Structure 1
């Protein structure tokens, strides 16, 4: 079994003192730190298209909750740079372990949007096939997916694959014991896994300052021997550059990598949350000025990589996507309540069979 080494120095592991940035909030280029390459122009234009579509998907999903088509929806508006960059940094044979707030990433990964929302509307199990999509089920319990991600990464390596696993997690999840166990496990095994922390400043209503005294969440990896970095999470160019390096590091035997992206949750925790009870409007307005979508659009326009027609085409495609999603989500689900008992265990236990029989009897009455 491969085990961790102690030949790394603290300097090898430390994140930048200031989050990595390529593009300022006004869309102008800034000088990035050494060690990070700018993504290809074609990749940035594709990222813009996906961000436009992702935001439209997010708005549509939020509207579906108001129409009673979804039970709940955790918006990621304002975090699209993280969602899209995370997907673009991966190959098709890599694995993604998402949280409940990462629906935009799943859609960008190619998972059917109706299947992405199936769980949130009370439908069938996780809604999609993890083995086919190489996307683990969206995880509602905080941080449990991080341990699963490390296990998957180690399993892939033992099978001789050079695939990488990326585990998304929020700032609140970093306060969970499972997160620290996963870091320790990954560090010892030098597993090919990237921990991607989207620090959106709140764990529901709990601000970051009440969760940790660390100068940044990126420093959480140091004690476990994990190379770490922090990045401006609303700068798509920077996030994609840093995550591309993190994935390369993990894929080529460098071991795990932890990336903290500083971003912001524009909307409430979910449609059931009242964010005005714990944050001020002027705070939200300040972050609106750092919105990742217009920032990237301004940057690409300034470099003549994006024109008015390109922008219009991206929005038209997003509207068509949203229209198809509405039509499909307006179809009533055909459900079989007995499917609740499918796939709970490989072989149903006597108790499970008894419960299934009891429900079947009630349904016949």
Structure 2
């Protein structure tokens, strides 16, 4: 543990709420007796593993920069930035087993990167060309959810289904399955998240509630959301809870790995508060300079998750300039492909809105589809006449 929860908007300097930290902001390893169990969780990670984590984080940030630029150029209707939250997303995402299922909100670009969702597909929703963008079953990642906190209930229901299907607590690592749902600090004030915690707790559901506390629910600081640290909310429902340094990729990996092990084995839910910071705006329609000051932003800029991992790699002989240059070239090509791919996107046929409303045929949807076809045909005739 490390008493490093100082600074920022929701924690006063006197607050010494402990949080799990394995790598300090200067890149040094944190070696304390009370974090030994989490150090063991990352002991197997090699230099190549750390490089792979850095690559994931670097490409996630490049994705963020490119998407922000595309929105400013009028190519996207809106975009929710994730700058500063790469460690929380990549660390937790890399702890997932292939069969585990993810329910994201709308900012988990790093988790989607780790799960292999195509970067262009991630922006179809933000371009307004598609209701989703990818096949959830291909990557075990549900579509982005814009309604704050609603997906926490979906995640809990899915986890309860896994439980009833006998996919939890079998002892077979390739069979036991868990769910992770991601949301922000503001979502913990929503009824859906609280209801999900009730259902998960009383049913011992195999779900990890991963809250990225980036300290601002749009323009509202966490002090307007809770009188106690966010992870305490999980404890109030009887859910084992932990607060982790969300800018420390190794700590996020370790904490999530422990939570998933509990879920896989039938031990039930866990609530994780990843204490981090939203370095950018809430979305591209937001102006954070109206509600937070430069001193706070500078405080957190010095805790940049990418710089922290780079410092660790340099300290342990894992940083190579040739490798770094190759990664920069990869990021440049990645950015070019993303720009070209987004600009080439076209809208799918409007009738596809009826395709996945229900799993099986439904009389009302069939009737509405037929009406829509007639409407489109009539409208097309009017267009020709004009």
Task: Judge same fold: TM > 0.5, yes or no.
Answer: yes
- Does 2:287 correspond to 1:274? yes
Q: Is the deviation greater in 199-208 or in 120-129?
A: 120-129
Identify the residue that residue 64 of structure 2 maps to in structure 1. 58
- Does 2:46 correspond to 1:31? no
CA distance in 2, matches of 1:110, 1:332: 19
Contact 1:27 1:298 in 2 (8 A): yes
- Does 2:378 correspond to 1:361? yes
Corresponding residue to 1:45 among 45, 51, 54? 51
Contact 1:196 1:259 in 2 (8 A): yes
- Does 2:310 correspond to 1:301? no
Contact 1:57 1:104 in 2 (8 A): no
Contact 2:104 2:141 in 1 (8 A): yes
Unpaired stretches in structure 1, ≥5 consecutive residues: 1-15
Identify the residue that residue 169 of structure 1 maps to in structure 2. 183
Task: Report the CA distance shift for 1:269/1:347 in structure 2 as closer, same or farther (over 3 A).
Answer: same
- Does 2:226 correspond to 1:212? yes
- Does 2:215 correspond to 1:184? no
How many Å apart are 1:352 and its aligned residue? 6.0
How many positions carry a matched residue from both structures? 349
2:75 is paired with a residue whose SS is: coil
How many Å apart are 1:315 and its aligned residue? 2.0
Q: What TM-score, normalized to structure 1? A: 0.91
Contact 2:87 2:249 in 1 (8 A): yes
Q: Where do 1:1-365 residues align within 5 Å?
A: 17-32=17-32, 33-36=35-38, 37-39=40-42, 40-41=45-46, 42-161=48-167, 162-214=176-228, 216-345=229-358, 346-347=361-362, 349=364, 350=367, 353-355=370-372, 357-365=374-382
CA distance in 2, matches of 1:277, 1:228: 33
Contact 1:126 1:137 in 2 (8 A): yes
CA distance in 2, matches of 1:291, 1:364: 57
2:182 is paired with a residue whose SS is: strand
Identify the residue that residue 10 of structure 1 maps to in structure 2. none
Contact 1:53 1:315 in 2 (8 A): no
Contact 1:54 1:108 in 2 (8 A): no
Identify the residue that residue 5 of structure 2 maps to in structure 1. none
1:59-90 Cα offsets, whole Å, 9 max, x none, are 11111111221111100000000111121010
CA distance in 1, matches of 2:313, 2:41: 13
How many Å apart are 1:17 and its aligned residue? 4.2
Task: Report the CA distance shift for 1:27/1:335 in structure 2 as closer, same or farther (over 3 A).
Answer: same
Coordinate RMSD, CA, aligned: 1.7
How many Å apart are 1:351 and its aligned residue? 5.2
CA distance in 2, matches of 1:185, 1:363: 50
How many Å apart are 1:30 and its aligned residue? 1.6
Contact 1:338 1:359 in 2 (8 A): no
